[in-house]
Amino acid sequence: MTARKHRPRLPQTRSCPRWHIEIADRQNFVRIPKKLLRRLIVTVLAGENRPGCQLSLALVDDQVITDLHQRFLGLATPTDVLTFPLDDDVGNSPNDSITSSRNRMQATTQPARNSLNQGDTSSRIVCGEIVISTQTALRQARQRRHDPATETLLYVIHGLLHLCGYDDTTPAARRMMQRRQLHYLHQLGLRLRQPPPHGN
């Protein structure tokens, strides 16, 4: 499926700041300060040697993400996180990130560049959009007995790594991605009671 022409895009500006981050909080399930979200985004991208970004992050409920899931991937179910790369180097279709790795689904997307071979894009700014259901994060956090905010931040990291070119379509790539996710959570002083299943 080719979704680029229908996909929401970041606004065009004449001057692009090094870190252009837009955060839309449209939910009432998990409270996370935008300052912390920005700090996490910059920490992850700087850690992946990216010099900047043009990025939007939306925190939504299950209904909104279900509508997007149906629209772009044809799946009328809620999911954790959707990523929309706006950079041809990491594919041009949305990525059903965490749910894909959990259920071993082959979504109708072009996979991001394998994380083990991403070095040639590491000097470029990251352009893309991440949509996260905090309602799903709350549900998963209760099942795994840890903080819903930490679960949500895990989804943010997961989406960012996809935009950096990581994928989780093979066991080796999933392990690599999981290590990077835990690394960045630990940098924020956060821990998970249970390790994330599969690649997320």
Averaged pLDDT, 120-140: 88
d(CA 39, CA 37): 5
Give the Cα-Cα-Cα angle 23, 28, 32 (nearest 5 degrees): 50
Whether 54 maps to a domain, the answer reads yes
Question: Would residue 169 count as lying in a domain?
Answer: yes
What are the start-end ranges of the H helices in the chain?
Answer: 34-47, 62-73, 97-103, 134-144, 148-163, 171-187
Considering the chain, what is the average pLDDT of its residues? Answer: 80
Does residue 21 have a pLDDT over 80?
yes
Q: Which domain holds residue 51?
A: 17-187
Pairing of strands 95-96, 81-85: antiparallel
pTM over 0.85: no
Is 4 within the bounds of a domain?
Answer: no
Is 194 part of any domain? no
Distance CA 33, CA 36 (A): 5
Dihedral of alpha carbons 82, 87, 90, 92, sign? positive
Q: Is residue 7 part of a domain?
A: no
Query: Residue 73: inside a domain, yes or no?
Result: yes
Largest interatomic CA distance in the chain: 46
Which tokens sit at 118?
Answer: 């991403």
Most confident of 15-19, 112-116, 147-151, 165-169: 147-151
- Check pLDDT > 80 for residue 102: no
Q: What is the CATH number of the domain that holds 72?
A: 3.40.390.30
pLDDT digits (tens, 9 = 90+) for 44-92: 999 999 999 999 999 999 999 999 999 999 999 999 999 999 976 545 5
Give percent of the chain above pLDDT 90. 62
Residue 9 lies in a domain: no
Name the residue with higher pLDDT: 198 or 95: 95
81-85 and 53-60 strand pairing: unpaired
Q: Residue 104 falls within a domain, yes or no?
A: yes
pLDDT at site 103: 35
Please, which pLDDT band fits residue 14 given cuts at 50, 70 and 90? very low
Q: How many domains would you assign to the chain?
A: 1
CA-nearest of 120, 100, 99, 132 to 26 is: 132
